[in-house]
Chains A and B, each alone.
Chain A
Amino acid sequence: MTKTTAPYDVDAVRRDFPILATSVRGKPLVYLDSAATSQKPQVVIDAITTYYSSQNSNVHRSVHYLAERATVAFEEARARVARFVNAPAPESVVWTRGTTEAVNLVANAWGDGNVKTGDVLLLTEMEHHANLVPWQMLAKRRGAKLRFVPITDDGLLDMDAVASRLAEGPKLFAFTAKSNVLGTENPVADLCRMARGAGAATFVDAAQTVPHGGVDVAALGCDFLAFSSHKALGPMGVGALVVRPPMYDRMTPWQGGGEMIQRVRLEESTYAPPPIRFEAGTPSAADAIGLHAALDYLDELGGTVPGSFPPSSSPIHDHVTGLTRLALDLLHGLDVRTFGPADASRRSGIVAFEVPGLHPHDVAQFLDARCGIAVRAGHHCAQPLMRRLGVVATCRASFYLYNTESEVRALADGLRAAMEYFRR
Protein backbone atom coordinates (compact mmCIF):
# COMPACT_ATOMS: atom_id res chain seq x y z
CA MET A 1 0.00 0.00 0.00
CA THR A 2 1.48 3.35 -0.91
CA LYS A 3 0.56 6.41 0.98
CA THR A 4 0.54 9.98 -0.21
CA THR A 5 1.63 12.29 2.54
CA ALA A 6 1.29 16.01 2.98
CA PRO A 7 4.53 18.00 3.32
CA TYR A 8 6.25 17.01 6.52
CA ASP A 9 4.84 19.15 9.33
CA VAL A 10 7.35 18.97 12.14
CA ASP A 11 5.49 21.49 14.31
CA ALA A 12 2.39 19.30 14.27
CA VAL A 13 4.54 16.28 15.12
CA ARG A 14 6.10 18.10 18.07
CA ARG A 15 2.70 18.82 19.57
CA ASP A 16 2.18 15.06 19.91
CA PHE A 17 5.15 14.76 22.29
CA PRO A 18 4.41 16.27 25.71
CA ILE A 19 8.03 16.19 26.87
CA LEU A 20 9.12 18.47 24.02
CA ALA A 21 7.13 21.30 25.57
CA THR A 22 9.06 21.09 28.83
CA SER A 23 12.02 23.16 30.00
CA VAL A 24 15.42 22.02 31.11
CA ARG A 25 17.39 24.18 33.52
CA GLY A 26 15.08 27.05 32.61
CA LYS A 27 15.48 26.62 28.84
CA PRO A 28 13.23 24.90 26.32
CA LEU A 29 14.38 21.32 25.87
CA VAL A 30 16.39 20.61 22.72
CA TYR A 31 16.50 16.83 22.63
CA LEU A 32 19.27 15.57 20.35
CA ASP A 33 19.74 12.13 21.91
CA SER A 34 17.15 9.98 20.16
CA ALA A 35 19.73 7.39 19.13
CA ALA A 36 19.94 6.60 22.85
CA THR A 37 16.19 6.60 23.31
CA SER A 38 13.34 8.36 21.55
CA GLN A 39 10.71 10.50 23.23
CA LYS A 40 7.15 9.17 23.30
CA PRO A 41 4.04 10.59 21.64
CA GLN A 42 0.88 10.97 23.69
CA VAL A 43 -0.77 8.03 21.87
CA VAL A 44 1.88 5.68 23.24
CA ILE A 45 1.58 7.04 26.77
CA ASP A 46 -2.21 6.70 26.45
CA ALA A 47 -1.99 3.12 25.19
CA ILE A 48 -0.03 2.11 28.29
CA THR A 49 -2.41 3.97 30.59
CA THR A 50 -5.42 2.38 28.89
CA TYR A 51 -3.90 -1.05 29.22
CA TYR A 52 -3.34 -0.70 32.93
CA SER A 53 -6.70 1.06 33.50
CA SER A 54 -8.92 -1.33 31.60
CA GLN A 55 -7.13 -4.36 30.17
CA ASN A 56 -4.45 -5.45 32.62
CA SER A 57 -4.21 -9.18 33.06
CA ASN A 58 -1.58 -11.86 32.53
CA VAL A 59 -1.54 -12.98 28.91
CA HIS A 60 -1.82 -16.56 27.61
CA ARG A 61 -3.01 -17.93 30.95
CA SER A 62 -6.55 -17.41 32.18
CA VAL A 63 -9.87 -17.61 30.39
CA HIS A 64 -11.52 -14.64 32.08
CA TYR A 65 -12.59 -11.51 30.26
CA LEU A 66 -9.56 -9.36 31.03
CA ALA A 67 -7.13 -12.14 30.23
CA GLU A 68 -8.77 -12.58 26.88
CA ARG A 69 -8.65 -8.88 26.09
CA ALA A 70 -5.01 -8.60 27.15
CA THR A 71 -4.00 -11.67 25.18
CA VAL A 72 -5.73 -10.46 22.04
CA ALA A 73 -4.12 -7.01 22.32
CA PHE A 74 -0.72 -8.55 23.00
CA GLU A 75 -0.94 -10.81 19.95
CA GLU A 76 -2.25 -7.95 17.80
CA ALA A 77 0.89 -6.07 18.75
CA ARG A 78 2.99 -8.99 17.56
CA ALA A 79 1.14 -8.98 14.24
CA ARG A 80 1.69 -5.20 14.03
CA VAL A 81 5.44 -5.66 14.38
CA ALA A 82 5.37 -8.34 11.68
CA ARG A 83 3.53 -6.00 9.29
CA PHE A 84 5.84 -3.09 10.10
CA VAL A 85 8.94 -5.00 9.00
CA ASN A 86 7.15 -7.13 6.39
CA ALA A 87 7.81 -10.41 8.21
CA PRO A 88 6.11 -13.48 6.72
CA ALA A 89 3.83 -14.06 9.72
CA PRO A 90 3.24 -12.89 13.30
CA GLU A 91 4.90 -16.13 14.41
CA SER A 92 8.22 -14.85 13.04
CA VAL A 93 8.29 -12.26 15.83
CA VAL A 94 9.74 -13.20 19.21
CA TRP A 95 9.21 -10.67 21.99
CA THR A 96 12.35 -9.72 23.85
CA ARG A 97 13.32 -7.01 26.33
CA GLY A 98 15.15 -5.23 23.53
CA THR A 99 17.88 -5.62 20.95
CA THR A 100 20.45 -6.71 23.53
CA GLU A 101 18.30 -9.57 24.73
CA ALA A 102 17.59 -10.58 21.13
CA VAL A 103 21.31 -10.96 20.44
CA ASN A 104 21.75 -12.98 23.61
CA LEU A 105 18.76 -15.12 22.65
CA VAL A 106 20.21 -16.00 19.25
CA ALA A 107 23.73 -16.49 20.64
CA ASN A 108 22.28 -19.08 23.02
CA ALA A 109 19.26 -20.60 21.31
CA TRP A 110 20.89 -20.83 17.88
CA GLY A 111 24.57 -20.45 18.72
CA ASP A 112 25.00 -23.24 21.24
CA GLY A 113 23.58 -25.86 18.90
CA ASN A 114 25.16 -24.65 15.66
CA VAL A 115 28.58 -23.26 16.51
CA LYS A 116 31.38 -25.73 17.10
CA THR A 117 35.02 -25.59 18.11
CA GLY A 118 37.04 -23.75 15.50
CA ASP A 119 34.02 -22.20 13.77
CA VAL A 120 34.22 -18.55 12.81
CA LEU A 121 31.76 -15.81 13.75
CA LEU A 122 32.09 -12.71 11.58
CA LEU A 123 31.28 -9.28 13.04
CA THR A 124 32.30 -5.73 12.14
CA GLU A 125 34.41 -3.05 13.78
CA MET A 126 31.42 -0.73 14.07
CA GLU A 127 29.24 -2.82 16.37
CA HIS A 128 27.51 -1.66 19.53
CA HIS A 129 28.57 -3.70 22.57
CA ALA A 130 25.15 -5.41 22.34
CA ASN A 131 26.11 -7.00 19.03
CA LEU A 132 29.60 -7.89 20.18
CA VAL A 133 29.77 -9.10 23.78
CA PRO A 134 27.13 -11.90 23.46
CA TRP A 135 29.09 -13.29 20.46
CA GLN A 136 32.32 -13.08 22.44
CA MET A 137 30.63 -15.12 25.16
CA LEU A 138 29.35 -17.66 22.62
CA ALA A 139 32.81 -17.94 21.06
CA LYS A 140 34.28 -18.60 24.50
CA ARG A 141 31.66 -21.26 25.33
CA ARG A 142 32.05 -23.07 22.02
CA GLY A 143 35.74 -22.52 21.30
CA ALA A 144 34.87 -20.50 18.20
CA LYS A 145 36.87 -17.66 16.65
CA LEU A 146 35.78 -14.08 16.06
CA ARG A 147 36.68 -12.19 12.90
CA PHE A 148 35.92 -8.59 12.12
CA VAL A 149 35.20 -6.62 8.98
CA PRO A 150 37.26 -3.43 9.28
CA ILE A 151 35.90 0.00 8.48
CA THR A 152 37.48 2.38 6.02
CA ASP A 153 38.89 5.70 7.20
CA ASP A 154 35.68 7.20 5.90
CA GLY A 155 33.57 5.13 8.27
CA LEU A 156 32.17 2.65 5.75
CA LEU A 157 32.36 -1.11 5.90
CA ASP A 158 35.29 -2.34 3.83
CA MET A 159 33.33 -4.33 1.23
CA ASP A 160 36.42 -6.08 -0.15
CA ALA A 161 37.11 -7.33 3.35
CA VAL A 162 33.49 -8.50 3.66
CA ALA A 163 34.03 -10.69 0.60
CA SER A 164 37.35 -12.07 1.75
CA ARG A 165 36.23 -12.72 5.34
CA LEU A 166 33.08 -14.46 4.08
CA ALA A 167 35.29 -16.64 1.89
CA GLU A 168 36.74 -18.03 5.15
CA GLY A 169 33.35 -19.69 5.71
CA PRO A 170 31.99 -18.14 8.91
CA LYS A 171 28.96 -19.73 10.54
CA LEU A 172 27.41 -16.34 11.15
CA PHE A 173 27.71 -12.77 9.95
CA ALA A 174 26.29 -10.33 12.51
CA PHE A 175 26.30 -6.63 11.69
CA THR A 176 24.51 -3.41 12.35
CA ALA A 177 22.19 -1.91 9.75
CA LYS A 178 23.28 1.55 10.89
CA SER A 179 26.18 2.51 13.11
CA ASN A 180 25.06 4.19 16.31
CA VAL A 181 28.21 6.35 16.24
CA LEU A 182 29.04 7.00 12.60
CA GLY A 183 25.48 7.06 11.29
CA THR A 184 26.68 4.89 8.41
CA GLU A 185 23.85 3.03 6.70
CA ASN A 186 25.17 -0.35 5.65
CA PRO A 187 23.98 -2.08 2.46
CA VAL A 188 22.06 -4.69 4.41
CA ALA A 189 20.50 -6.53 1.46
CA ASP A 190 23.89 -6.85 -0.27
CA LEU A 191 25.55 -8.05 2.90
CA CYS A 192 22.83 -10.65 3.48
CA ARG A 193 23.10 -11.87 -0.11
CA MET A 194 26.87 -12.20 0.14
CA ALA A 195 26.57 -14.03 3.47
CA ARG A 196 23.93 -16.38 2.10
CA GLY A 197 26.20 -17.19 -0.83
CA ALA A 198 28.93 -18.09 1.63
CA GLY A 199 26.62 -20.24 3.74
CA ALA A 200 26.65 -17.93 6.76
CA ALA A 201 23.58 -17.17 8.84
CA THR A 202 22.87 -13.43 9.18
CA PHE A 203 21.96 -11.35 12.21
CA VAL A 204 21.03 -7.70 11.61
CA ASP A 205 21.07 -5.20 14.47
CA ALA A 206 18.35 -2.83 13.29
CA ALA A 207 18.00 -0.83 16.51
CA GLN A 208 18.89 2.42 14.71
CA THR A 209 16.98 1.76 11.48
CA VAL A 210 13.54 0.41 12.36
CA PRO A 211 12.65 3.75 14.06
CA HIS A 212 13.06 5.48 10.69
CA GLY A 213 10.89 3.02 8.78
CA GLY A 214 11.42 1.19 5.55
CA VAL A 215 12.85 -2.01 7.02
CA ASP A 216 11.58 -5.01 5.06
CA VAL A 217 12.96 -8.34 6.20
CA ALA A 218 11.68 -10.13 3.10
CA ALA A 219 13.61 -7.75 0.84
CA LEU A 220 16.69 -7.83 3.07
CA GLY A 221 16.82 -11.60 3.18
CA CYS A 222 18.19 -11.83 6.71
CA ASP A 223 17.88 -14.80 9.06
CA PHE A 224 17.55 -12.71 12.23
CA LEU A 225 16.79 -9.03 12.73
CA ALA A 226 16.36 -7.26 16.05
CA PHE A 227 15.21 -3.88 17.28
CA SER A 228 14.11 -2.14 20.46
CA SER A 229 10.78 -0.48 21.05
CA HIS A 230 12.19 2.44 22.99
CA LYS A 231 14.19 3.89 20.10
CA ALA A 232 11.08 3.74 17.89
CA LEU A 233 8.71 5.90 19.96
CA GLY A 234 7.61 2.91 22.05
CA PRO A 235 8.14 2.17 25.72
CA MET A 236 11.32 0.78 27.23
CA GLY A 237 11.47 -2.86 28.23
CA VAL A 238 10.33 -4.55 25.05
CA GLY A 239 11.78 -5.34 21.66
CA ALA A 240 11.45 -7.84 18.88
CA LEU A 241 13.56 -10.52 17.29
CA VAL A 242 12.35 -11.28 13.77
CA VAL A 243 13.25 -14.80 12.74
CA ARG A 244 13.16 -16.29 9.25
CA PRO A 245 10.90 -19.25 10.13
CA PRO A 246 13.17 -22.12 8.94
CA MET A 247 15.74 -20.95 11.50
CA TYR A 248 13.39 -22.03 14.29
CA ASP A 249 14.20 -25.65 13.41
CA ARG A 250 17.81 -25.01 14.38
CA MET A 251 17.06 -23.33 17.70
CA THR A 252 16.55 -24.75 21.17
CA PRO A 253 14.95 -22.97 24.14
CA TRP A 254 17.33 -20.76 26.06
CA GLN A 255 15.29 -19.70 29.08
CA GLY A 256 12.89 -22.10 30.74
CA GLY A 257 9.82 -21.34 32.79
CA GLY A 258 6.16 -20.51 32.43
CA GLU A 259 4.55 -19.76 29.09
CA MET A 260 7.22 -21.42 26.94
CA ILE A 261 6.04 -24.97 27.81
CA GLN A 262 3.55 -27.43 26.43
CA ARG A 263 3.54 -30.17 29.07
CA VAL A 264 5.62 -30.25 32.22
CA ARG A 265 6.46 -33.32 34.30
CA LEU A 266 8.79 -33.43 37.25
CA GLU A 267 11.66 -34.82 35.23
CA GLU A 268 11.14 -33.24 31.83
CA SER A 269 8.99 -30.99 29.69
CA THR A 270 7.91 -30.39 26.15
CA TYR A 271 7.88 -26.92 24.75
CA ALA A 272 5.37 -24.62 23.16
CA PRO A 273 5.87 -23.94 19.44
CA PRO A 274 7.83 -20.85 18.41
CA PRO A 275 7.72 -17.96 19.02
CA ILE A 276 6.28 -18.62 22.50
CA ARG A 277 8.98 -21.27 23.00
CA PHE A 278 11.47 -18.42 23.32
CA GLU A 279 9.36 -16.26 25.65
CA ALA A 280 9.69 -17.70 29.14
CA GLY A 281 7.84 -15.89 31.91
CA THR A 282 5.30 -13.09 31.94
CA PRO A 283 6.01 -10.76 29.02
CA SER A 284 5.82 -6.98 29.17
CA ALA A 285 2.37 -6.92 27.58
CA ALA A 286 1.67 -3.26 28.29
CA ASP A 287 4.90 -2.27 26.55
CA ALA A 288 4.20 -4.49 23.56
CA ILE A 289 0.82 -2.79 23.25
CA GLY A 290 2.52 0.60 23.61
CA LEU A 291 4.83 -0.38 20.76
CA HIS A 292 1.76 -1.19 18.66
CA ALA A 293 0.59 2.41 19.10
CA ALA A 294 4.08 3.67 18.27
CA LEU A 295 4.26 1.72 15.01
CA ASP A 296 0.80 2.97 14.05
CA TYR A 297 2.03 6.49 14.66
CA LEU A 298 5.18 5.94 12.57
CA ASP A 299 3.15 4.47 9.75
CA GLU A 300 0.80 7.41 9.73
CA LEU A 301 3.75 9.76 9.31
CA GLY A 302 4.86 7.66 6.41
CA GLY A 303 7.67 5.75 8.04
CA THR A 304 7.15 2.51 6.21
CA VAL A 305 8.06 2.19 2.60
CA PRO A 306 8.47 -1.56 2.19
CA GLY A 307 11.32 -2.72 0.06
CA SER A 308 13.41 0.40 0.14
CA PHE A 309 16.53 0.14 2.18
CA PRO A 310 18.30 2.28 3.09
CA PRO A 311 14.89 3.91 3.26
CA SER A 312 15.45 6.59 0.67
CA SER A 313 11.88 7.67 0.19
CA SER A 314 10.37 7.69 3.66
CA PRO A 315 9.24 11.13 4.85
CA ILE A 316 10.72 10.47 8.30
CA HIS A 317 14.05 9.40 6.84
CA ASP A 318 14.11 12.37 4.45
CA HIS A 319 13.43 14.80 7.29
CA VAL A 320 16.11 13.28 9.51
CA THR A 321 18.67 13.12 6.70
CA GLY A 322 18.06 16.80 5.94
CA LEU A 323 18.82 17.70 9.55
CA THR A 324 21.92 15.54 9.45
CA ARG A 325 23.27 17.36 6.39
CA LEU A 326 22.62 20.73 7.99
CA ALA A 327 24.40 19.64 11.16
CA LEU A 328 27.44 18.43 9.21
CA ASP A 329 27.64 21.73 7.29
CA LEU A 330 27.31 23.88 10.41
CA LEU A 331 29.78 21.84 12.47
CA HIS A 332 32.38 21.82 9.72
CA GLY A 333 32.04 25.59 9.58
CA LEU A 334 33.08 25.66 13.25
CA ASP A 335 36.14 23.46 12.75
CA VAL A 336 34.51 20.72 14.74
CA ARG A 337 35.76 17.26 13.78
CA THR A 338 32.96 14.91 12.80
CA PHE A 339 33.16 11.15 12.45
CA GLY A 340 31.58 8.98 9.82
CA PRO A 341 31.15 9.15 6.05
CA ALA A 342 31.92 12.44 4.34
CA ASP A 343 29.32 11.45 1.76
CA ALA A 344 26.09 12.52 3.44
CA SER A 345 24.08 10.11 1.32
CA ARG A 346 25.71 7.18 3.12
CA ARG A 347 24.58 8.25 6.56
CA SER A 348 21.60 9.54 8.48
CA GLY A 349 20.45 10.74 11.83
CA ILE A 350 23.68 10.61 13.79
CA VAL A 351 26.62 13.00 14.02
CA ALA A 352 29.40 12.11 16.44
CA PHE A 353 31.87 14.95 16.85
CA GLU A 354 34.86 16.23 18.74
CA VAL A 355 35.67 19.82 19.55
CA PRO A 356 39.46 20.04 19.34
CA GLY A 357 40.96 20.51 22.78
CA LEU A 358 37.71 20.06 24.66
CA HIS A 359 36.52 16.92 26.37
CA PRO A 360 33.12 15.58 25.27
CA HIS A 361 31.79 15.56 28.83
CA ASP A 362 32.59 19.20 29.31
CA VAL A 363 31.03 20.11 25.98
CA ALA A 364 27.90 18.11 26.76
CA GLN A 365 27.60 19.61 30.22
CA PHE A 366 27.91 23.11 28.77
CA LEU A 367 25.28 22.42 26.11
CA ASP A 368 22.95 21.08 28.77
CA ALA A 369 23.43 23.73 31.42
CA ARG A 370 23.72 26.78 29.20
CA CYS A 371 21.52 25.83 26.25
CA GLY A 372 19.12 23.09 27.40
CA ILE A 373 20.53 20.84 24.66
CA ALA A 374 20.71 17.11 25.35
CA VAL A 375 23.49 15.29 23.49
CA ARG A 376 25.25 12.08 24.42
CA ALA A 377 28.86 12.16 25.56
CA GLY A 378 30.91 9.05 26.02
CA HIS A 379 31.86 5.90 24.16
CA HIS A 380 28.29 5.16 22.99
CA CYS A 381 28.66 1.49 23.97
CA ALA A 382 31.16 1.08 21.14
CA GLN A 383 34.59 1.11 22.77
CA PRO A 384 36.34 -0.88 20.01
CA LEU A 385 35.07 1.61 17.44
CA MET A 386 36.25 4.53 19.60
CA ARG A 387 39.69 2.92 19.65
CA ARG A 388 39.59 2.52 15.87
CA LEU A 389 38.74 6.22 15.55
CA GLY A 390 41.58 7.08 17.92
CA VAL A 391 39.45 8.73 20.59
CA VAL A 392 38.31 7.78 24.07
CA ALA A 393 34.92 9.39 23.75
CA THR A 394 32.96 11.74 21.54
CA CYS A 395 29.85 13.87 21.70
CA ARG A 396 26.96 12.62 19.63
CA ALA A 397 23.96 14.50 18.36
CA SER A 398 21.18 12.37 16.96
CA PHE A 399 18.06 13.53 15.17
CA TYR A 400 14.60 12.14 14.89
CA LEU A 401 11.22 12.92 13.40
CA TYR A 402 10.46 15.71 15.90
CA ASN A 403 13.70 17.68 15.60
CA THR A 404 13.87 20.98 13.77
CA GLU A 405 16.38 23.00 11.80
CA SER A 406 16.38 25.64 14.50
CA GLU A 407 17.42 22.99 17.03
CA VAL A 408 20.36 22.05 14.80
CA ARG A 409 21.31 25.74 14.62
CA ALA A 410 21.04 25.95 18.42
CA LEU A 411 23.54 23.11 18.65
CA ALA A 412 26.02 24.98 16.46
CA ASP A 413 25.54 28.18 18.46
CA GLY A 414 26.01 26.24 21.69
CA LEU A 415 29.25 24.71 20.45
CA ARG A 416 30.59 28.11 19.49
CA ALA A 417 29.81 29.37 23.00
CA ALA A 418 31.41 26.29 24.61
CA MET A 419 34.63 26.92 22.72
CA GLU A 420 34.70 30.51 23.92
CA TYR A 421 33.99 29.46 27.50
CA PHE A 422 36.63 26.76 27.87
CA ARG A 423 39.32 28.44 25.80
CA ARG A 424 39.00 31.92 27.28
Chain B
Amino acid sequence: MKDAPEPTFDALYRDLILEHYRTPHGKAPLAREDVVTEGVNPICGDEVDVALQQDGGKLVGVRVDPRGCAISVASGSILFDLVEGKTIDEARRHVAAVKATLQGGTAPTGVDLGDFEALEGVKQFPVRIKCALLPWTTLDQALSELEAKGGKS
Protein backbone atom coordinates (compact mmCIF):
# COMPACT_ATOMS: atom_id res chain seq x y z
CA MET B 1 0.00 0.00 0.00
CA LYS B 2 1.32 3.41 -0.92
CA ASP B 3 1.20 6.27 1.51
CA ALA B 4 -0.83 9.28 0.50
CA PRO B 5 1.40 11.92 -1.08
CA GLU B 6 2.79 14.46 1.36
CA PRO B 7 0.66 17.59 1.36
CA THR B 8 2.64 20.39 -0.20
CA PHE B 9 3.05 23.87 1.10
CA ASP B 10 2.16 25.34 -2.27
CA ALA B 11 -1.16 23.48 -2.26
CA LEU B 12 -2.05 25.50 0.81
CA TYR B 13 -0.60 28.87 -0.14
CA ARG B 14 -1.72 29.08 -3.76
CA ASP B 15 -0.87 32.32 -5.54
CA LEU B 16 -4.54 33.26 -5.63
CA ILE B 17 -4.71 32.86 -1.85
CA LEU B 18 -1.64 35.01 -1.34
CA GLU B 19 -3.15 37.70 -3.62
CA HIS B 20 -6.30 37.80 -1.48
CA TYR B 21 -4.13 37.86 1.64
CA ARG B 22 -2.01 40.79 0.49
CA THR B 23 -4.98 42.85 -0.68
CA PRO B 24 -8.11 41.56 1.01
CA HIS B 25 -11.51 42.68 -0.29
CA GLY B 26 -14.38 43.93 1.81
CA LYS B 27 -12.64 45.96 4.49
CA ALA B 28 -14.50 49.22 3.80
CA PRO B 29 -16.99 50.38 6.45
CA LEU B 30 -20.66 50.16 5.47
CA ALA B 31 -23.11 53.04 5.29
CA ARG B 32 -25.19 51.23 7.88
CA GLU B 33 -24.14 48.14 9.80
CA ASP B 34 -27.23 46.18 10.88
CA VAL B 35 -25.17 43.56 12.65
CA VAL B 36 -21.50 43.32 13.54
CA THR B 37 -20.42 39.85 14.65
CA GLU B 38 -17.05 38.96 16.05
CA GLY B 39 -15.70 35.46 15.51
CA VAL B 40 -12.78 33.95 17.40
CA ASN B 41 -10.70 30.88 16.70
CA PRO B 42 -9.95 29.54 20.18
CA ILE B 43 -6.93 27.59 18.95
CA CYS B 44 -4.92 30.60 17.84
CA GLY B 45 -6.92 33.54 19.16
CA ASP B 46 -7.48 34.90 15.63
CA GLU B 47 -10.44 37.21 15.26
CA VAL B 48 -12.66 38.45 12.48
CA ASP B 49 -15.50 40.95 12.37
CA VAL B 50 -18.29 40.40 9.87
CA ALA B 51 -20.72 43.29 9.44
CA LEU B 52 -23.87 43.10 7.34
CA GLN B 53 -26.25 45.65 5.90
CA GLN B 54 -29.47 44.26 4.50
CA ASP B 55 -32.20 45.74 2.40
CA GLY B 56 -35.29 43.67 1.62
CA GLY B 57 -33.57 40.41 2.49
CA LYS B 58 -30.54 41.23 0.37
CA LEU B 59 -27.04 41.74 1.73
CA VAL B 60 -26.39 45.11 0.14
CA GLY B 61 -23.35 45.63 2.32
CA VAL B 62 -20.75 43.21 3.70
CA ARG B 63 -17.65 44.16 5.65
CA VAL B 64 -15.01 41.65 6.65
CA ASP B 65 -12.28 42.78 9.02
CA PRO B 66 -9.87 39.91 9.64
CA ARG B 67 -7.10 39.80 12.23
CA GLY B 68 -5.60 36.50 11.37
CA CYS B 69 -3.40 34.34 9.19
CA ALA B 70 -3.14 34.32 5.40
CA ILE B 71 -5.66 31.50 5.15
CA SER B 72 -8.35 33.17 7.24
CA VAL B 73 -7.74 36.59 5.65
CA ALA B 74 -7.98 35.13 2.14
CA SER B 75 -11.08 33.15 3.08
CA GLY B 76 -12.72 36.34 4.39
CA SER B 77 -11.80 38.22 1.24
CA ILE B 78 -13.35 35.49 -0.91
CA LEU B 79 -16.39 35.49 1.34
CA PHE B 80 -16.91 39.15 0.54
CA ASP B 81 -16.65 38.49 -3.19
CA LEU B 82 -19.14 35.64 -2.99
CA VAL B 83 -21.91 36.92 -0.75
CA GLU B 84 -22.11 40.67 -1.26
CA GLY B 85 -25.37 41.40 -3.05
CA LYS B 86 -26.77 37.94 -2.40
CA THR B 87 -29.96 37.20 -0.45
CA ILE B 88 -29.74 35.87 3.07
CA ASP B 89 -30.82 32.43 1.83
CA GLU B 90 -28.17 32.44 -0.89
CA ALA B 91 -25.53 33.44 1.64
CA ARG B 92 -26.60 30.53 3.84
CA ARG B 93 -26.24 28.17 0.90
CA HIS B 94 -22.71 29.46 0.38
CA VAL B 95 -21.91 28.82 4.04
CA ALA B 96 -23.24 25.27 3.69
CA ALA B 97 -21.22 24.71 0.52
CA VAL B 98 -18.02 25.96 2.14
CA LYS B 99 -18.55 23.74 5.18
CA ALA B 100 -19.24 20.74 2.96
CA THR B 101 -16.11 21.46 0.93
CA LEU B 102 -13.84 21.61 3.96
CA GLN B 103 -15.49 19.20 6.36
CA GLY B 104 -17.25 16.77 4.05
CA GLY B 105 -20.99 16.20 3.81
CA THR B 106 -23.53 17.06 1.21
CA ALA B 107 -23.03 20.34 -0.56
CA PRO B 108 -26.09 22.24 -1.74
CA THR B 109 -26.37 22.09 -5.51
CA GLY B 110 -25.83 25.03 -7.79
CA VAL B 111 -23.51 27.07 -5.59
CA ASP B 112 -20.48 28.47 -7.41
CA LEU B 113 -17.68 28.89 -4.88
CA GLY B 114 -15.48 30.90 -7.22
CA ASP B 115 -12.00 31.57 -5.83
CA PHE B 116 -12.78 29.48 -2.78
CA GLU B 117 -11.75 26.41 -4.74
CA ALA B 118 -8.18 27.61 -4.29
CA LEU B 119 -8.63 27.02 -0.58
CA GLU B 120 -9.41 23.33 -0.99
CA GLY B 121 -5.76 22.55 -0.31
CA VAL B 122 -6.48 23.40 3.32
CA LYS B 123 -8.13 19.99 3.61
CA GLN B 124 -4.64 18.44 3.57
CA PHE B 125 -3.75 20.45 6.70
CA PRO B 126 -6.49 19.53 9.19
CA VAL B 127 -5.44 22.04 11.84
CA ARG B 128 -5.82 24.87 9.33
CA ILE B 129 -9.42 24.04 8.36
CA LYS B 130 -10.63 26.16 11.27
CA CYS B 131 -8.67 29.12 9.87
CA ALA B 132 -10.49 28.90 6.54
CA LEU B 133 -13.84 28.36 8.24
CA LEU B 134 -13.60 31.24 10.72
CA PRO B 135 -15.04 34.00 8.48
CA TRP B 136 -17.79 31.66 7.33
CA THR B 137 -18.91 30.47 10.76
CA THR B 138 -18.89 34.14 11.77
CA LEU B 139 -21.04 35.02 8.75
CA ASP B 140 -23.37 32.18 9.72
CA GLN B 141 -23.78 33.68 13.15
CA ALA B 142 -24.19 37.19 11.73
CA LEU B 143 -27.00 35.96 9.47
CA SER B 144 -28.76 34.41 12.45
CA GLU B 145 -28.44 37.69 14.35
CA LEU B 146 -29.75 39.56 11.35
CA GLU B 147 -32.77 37.26 11.13
CA ALA B 148 -33.38 37.51 14.86
CA LYS B 149 -33.61 41.26 14.33
CA GLY B 150 -36.40 40.63 11.83
CA GLY B 151 -34.44 40.98 8.64
CA LYS B 152 -35.64 37.79 6.96
CA SER B 153 -37.08 38.40 3.52
The answer to whether B70 touches A393 (Cβ under 8 A) is no
A25 touches B (CB below 8 Å): yes
Which of A208-216, A293-301, A378-386 interfaces with chain B?
Answer: A378-386
Least CB distance from A74 to B in Å reads 36
* Beta-carbon contacts under 8 Å, A353-401 to B: 359-362, 365-366, 369-370, 377-379, 383, 386, 392-393
Given known contacts A26-B6, A361-B128, A378 and B70 CB-to-CB distance under 8 angstroms: no
The answer to whether B67 touches A422 (Cβ under 8 A) is no
Bound CA–CA A156/B80 (angstroms): 43
The answer to whether A378 touches B9 (Cβ under 8 A) is no
The one of A25, A377, A378, A392 that contacts B47, using a Cβ cutoff of 8 Å: A392
Given known contacts A365-B12, A365-B128, A392-B67, A360 and B44 CB-to-CB distance under 8 angstroms: yes
The answer to whether A393 touches B125 (Cβ under 8 A) is no
Given known contacts A359-B68, A392-B67, A422-B18, A366 and B44 CB-to-CB distance under 8 angstroms: no
The one of B45, B70, B125 that contacts A392, using a Cβ cutoff of 8 Å: B45
Least CB distance from B141 to A in Å reads 19
* Beta-carbon contacts under 8 Å, B91-147 to A: 125, 128, 131
Interface of A is mostly: helix
B71 touches A (CB below 8 Å): yes
Bound CA–CA A393/B69 (angstroms): 10
Bound CA–CA A362/B45 (angstroms): 14
The answer to whether A359 touches B18 (Cβ under 8 A) is no
Bound CA–CA A378/B131 (angstroms): 12
Bound CA–CA A25/B9 (angstroms): 10
The answer to whether B125 touches A365 (Cβ under 8 A) is yes
Bound CA–CA A362/B68 (angstroms): 10
Bound CA–CA A369/B127 (angstroms): 14
The answer to whether A25 touches B6 (Cβ under 8 A) is yes
Bound CA–CA A274/B99 (angstroms): 52
| Residues in B whose Cβ lies below 8 Å from that of A26 | 6
Given known contacts A361-B131, A365-B128, A366-B9, A379 and B70 CB-to-CB distance under 8 angstroms: no
Given known contacts A361-B69, A361-B131, A393 and B12 CB-to-CB distance under 8 angstroms: no
The answer to whether B9 touches A377 (Cβ under 8 A) is no
| Residues in B whose Cβ lies below 8 Å from that of A383 | 45
The answer to whether A378 touches B128 (Cβ under 8 A) is no
Bound CA–CA A370/B125 (angstroms): 14
B46 touches A (CB below 8 Å): yes
The one of B9, B46, B71 that contacts A393, using a Cβ cutoff of 8 Å: B46
The one of A361, A370, A421 that contacts B71, using a Cβ cutoff of 8 Å: A361
The answer to whether A362 touches B47 (Cβ under 8 A) is no
Least CB distance from B118 to A in Å reads 16
| Residues in B whose Cβ lies below 8 Å from that of A421 | 13
* Beta-carbon contacts under 8 Å, A321-371 to B: 359-362, 365-366, 369-370
A-B residue pairs in contact (CB < 8 Å), sample of 11 = A26-B6, A359-B70, A361-B131, A365-B128, A366-B9, A370-B9, A378-B45, A392-B68, A393-B44, A421-B13, A422-B70
Mark A residues whose CB is within 8 Å of B: 25-26, 359-362, 365-366, 369-370, 377-379, 383, 386, 392-393, 421-422
Given contacts A361-B46, A421-B13, 20 further A-B contacts (CB under 8 A): A25-B6, A359-B46, A359-B73, A361-B44, A361-B68, A361-B69, A362-B69, A362-B70, A365-B13, A365-B128, A366-B9, A369-B9, A369-B12, A378-B44, A392-B45, A392-B46, A392-B47, A392-B68, A393-B44, A393-B46
Mark B residues whose CB is within 8 Å of A: 6, 8-9, 12-13, 18, 43-47, 67-71, 73, 125, 128, 131
